[in-house]
Amino acid sequence: MTARQLWEYALIEINKVEAPSMLLEDFNYYINKAVMNYIDKRYNMYDMNQQLTDDLRVLKGTAKLDDFTKVTGSLLGATYVTQLPEDYFHILSCVVVFTATKPFKCYSTVNPTLTGAKRLTADMFAEIINNYYLRPSYRNPYYYIHNSTDPVIESNVSNGGVSSQDPTANQRDGNLSPVNIEIRYGKDDTLFTLTGAHVDYLKVPRYILLTQDQIDLTEDTSSVIEFPNYVCYEIIKELVALLLESASDPRLNTNIPINKTIPDQAPQPQQGKR
């Protein structure tokens, strides 16, 4: 499905094919907002079932991180930081790679040790730092995500060399500053050295841009949407709802219930009687 098809299908939904009342600037804004709304809904229920996983499969990416820098002045000595990919949007999982500097228990200096890292929050860190069973260690590492303090405004931060202030069709551009990930695994890093990490994450969706020339041409030369067709129809539903709400159209009250095909949340299991 192409960007012009999204435009045409949206006009069909709001019954404005012959006399469109939607400005092209409005469409470019609302279609990208509709994509973000759809992704946020799916991410909140990600991996609950196979359908929800497939809905965002085109945005799933894997990155190998190996350029870590030790954080000085940290509460814990074994704290390392590196940058996530430029198209990073949401993290799914993180597996860290340790290398033993000498034989220790069942750990070898030849074969690396893979350990799944847990997500760390600011308030959580204060509670587990002195908990023997939950505090960061080589057996229980944590990852912590934060932005760099040096925003990138003028430099090109998106794929293809497009400035973040001038988004172009098919460019992934969502972070004005680098996104850092910290790996924390205790106070002592002399025995186990952090050599890398494997991160599964969701990429920023491509920016959709439709021009007047692409509408006027007989042949459809607009960009192809990266999502499968069945997901595009769900995005059209989000777009139509935004357009109807913007126009204060009374059809909004019936449009959303009629076109709902995927529940907003999974049913909660019933509690057994005591």
* Model confidence pLDDT, tens digit, residues 90-120: 999 999 999 888 888 888 788 888 999 999 9
Q: Answer yes or no: is 144 within a domain.
A: yes
Q: Closest Cα to residue 136, out of 84, 194, 93, 180?
A: 194
80 with 139, same domain: the answer is: yes
Q: Answer yes or no: is 273 within a domain.
A: no
Contact status, residue 46 vs residue 89, Cβ threshold 8 Å:
no
Which 3 state secondary structure label does DSSP give 225?
Answer: coil
Q: Answer yes or no: is 265 within a domain.
A: no
Burial class (CB in 10 A: 0-12, 13-18, 19+), 145: middle
150 with 184, same domain: the answer is: yes
87 with 135, same domain: the answer is: yes
Which 3 state secondary structure label does DSSP give 253?
Answer: helix
111 with 193, same domain: the answer is: yes
Q: What is the pLDDT along the chain (274 residues), one digit of tens a residue?
A: 999 999 999 988 887 665 567 889 999 999 999 999 999 988 888 888 888 888 899 999 999 998 888 887 777 788 899 999 988 999 999 999 998 888 888 887 888 889 999 999 888 888 888 888 898 988 899 999 988 665 544 444 444 444 445 556 777 777 777 889 999 988 888 888 899 999 999 999 999 999 999 999 999 999 999 999 999 999 999 998 888 888 776 766 666 655 666 555 554 454 444 4
Q: Answer yes or no: is 215 within a domain.
A: no
User: Look-up: residue for tokens 């129809």?
Assistant: 233
Q: Which domain, by its residues, includes 136?
A: 60-154+165-203
Burial class (CB in 10 A: 0-12, 13-18, 19+), 12: exposed
59/34 Cα distance (integer angstroms) = 16
73 with 192, same domain: the answer is: yes
Q: What is the pLDDT of residue 221?
A: 92
181 with 88, same domain: the answer is: yes
Q: Answer yes or no: is 268 within a domain.
A: no
Q: What is the pLDDT of residue 157?
A: 42
199 with 66, same domain: the answer is: yes
Total number of domains in the chain: 2
Residue-wise burial string across 93-126, b where 16 or more C-beta atoms lie within 10 A, e elsewhere: ebebbbbbeeeeeebeeeeebebebeebeeeebe
49 with 91, same domain: the answer is: no
30/166 Cα distance (integer angstroms) = 17
Q: Answer yes or no: is 78 within a domain.
A: yes
Q: What is the pLDDT of residue 201?
A: 93
Q: Answer yes or no: is 29 within a domain.
A: yes
117 with 244, same domain: the answer is: no
User: Look-up: residue for tokens 């430029």?
Assistant: 86
Contact status, residue 27 vs residue 5, Cβ threshold 8 Å:
no
46 with 73, same domain: the answer is: no
65 with 188, same domain: the answer is: yes
Contact status, residue 41 vs residue 177, Cβ threshold 8 Å:
no
The half-sphere exposure of 42 on its side-chain side, counting CA atoms within 13 A, is 25
- The contacts of residue 38 (CB under 8 Å, 6+ apart) are 231, 234, 235, 238
Tokens of 234: 């769900």
Q: Answer yes or no: is 213 within a domain.
A: no
Which 3 state secondary structure label does DSSP give 1?
Answer: coil
Residue by residue, DSSP assigns 257-271 as: HHH--S-SSPPPPPP
**Helix axis angle, 229-246 to 24-44, nearest 10°:** 120
82 with 115, same domain: the answer is: yes
Beta strands in the chain (DSSP E): 60-65, 69-70, 79-83, 88-100, 113-116, 118-119, 142-147, 179-184, 192-203
Q: What is the pLDDT of residue 259?
A: 61
